[in-house]
Amino acid sequence: MSEPHEHLEHAEHDSHHAHDPFDRRVAVSMAIIAAILAGISTAGHRKHNEVLQLQGESNRMRTEAAAFEVIKSNNFAWYQAKRNRQALYETSAALAEAAPAGGEGRKPAPVEKWRKAAAEYNDELKQIKADGDAAGKKAEELSRTATRLRGEVEHAHHQADRLDLAHLLAEVGLVVCSVSILTKRKAFWVAGVVAAALALGVAGSAYLISDHADHPATHEESDGHAAPDAGQKPPKGGDGGKSNPAPDKSNH
């Protein structure tokens, strides 16, 4: 006879708790906090993905900038080699003209041929210089872009950290609210709601972080050498260039 009575008491007790206003308020609060948690979690995941995307783009730009620096250096070396060859023809022609006439039967130096060969290098030197300058400008442009992207990576990383903190606060609020249902203590419920409110504030502040302090003040300058002007002559040695041998007639 006692079993039906006990079941009725339990049912009445459960029905009383199901309609308890405090439990209903806490349940609604928990549903709202759960929605806040889901939103913050989504925003945090997207921000972390943005960090990875920007980092990959920055690394790609730095790699391309390094490749153009190599092209620039190669053009500089090629320019110097061609310019030295041109200077050798010019010096040989000048020395041949300044030298006294040879004896009878001595073959005259091909001065005009050397001067013509030296002149033929002008257009080629201009093109090499133009290619080197273009590669240098492209390297600098890519380096600036990579530096800007690194600043954006740093800024997005700070935002992601702030969103992670907001995510943690929302989870704490949800757990504390659930404790209030078990203990029937309003203080836990209030603490959970406060934690959720803080989570919203911290998440909002993530998008108010200024990015000015994250960008470097100066960008990395390229280390390559600029190609010299087409009319620039290589430095002469201690003998003033007078000891340069005549060029090989079969190779220029």
Q: Rounded to whole angstroms, what are the CA distances from 217 to 106, 121, 220?
A: 69, 43, 10
Residue type present at position 98:
A
Q: What is the pLDDT of residue 106?
A: 63
Residues 176-228 have pLDDT tens digits of 999 998 899 999 999 999 999 999 999 999 999 987 544 444 444 444 444 44
Query: What phi and psi values does residue 106 have, to the nearest 5 degrees?
Result: -85, 130
The confidence band for 118, taking pLDDT boundaries of 50, 70 and 90, is confident
Q: What is the pLDDT of residue 236?
A: 43
Residues 54-101 have pLDDT tens digits of 999 999 999 999 999 999 999 999 999 999 999 998 898 888 887 766
Q: What is the pLDDT of residue 19?
A: 58
Half-sphere exposure of 210 (CA within 13 A, CB side): 2
Q: What is the pLDDT of residue 103?
A: 53
Residues 105-116 have pLDDT tens digits of 566 778 888 888
Q: Where are the beta strands (DSSP E) in the chain?
A: none
In the predicted model, what is the mean pLDDT of residues 46-53?
96
Cα 226 from Cα 76, distance rounded (Å): 7
Q: What is the pLDDT of residue 112?
A: 86
Look at domain 20-98+109-206 and name its CATH class. Answer: mainly alpha
**Domain ranges across the chain:** 20-98+109-206
Cα 118 from Cα 243, distance rounded (Å): 18
Q: Which residue has the higher pLDDT, 209 or 241?
A: 209
Does the pLDDT of residue 102 top 70, yes or no?
A: no
Residues 120-144 have pLDDT tens digits of 899 999 999 999 999 999 999 999 9
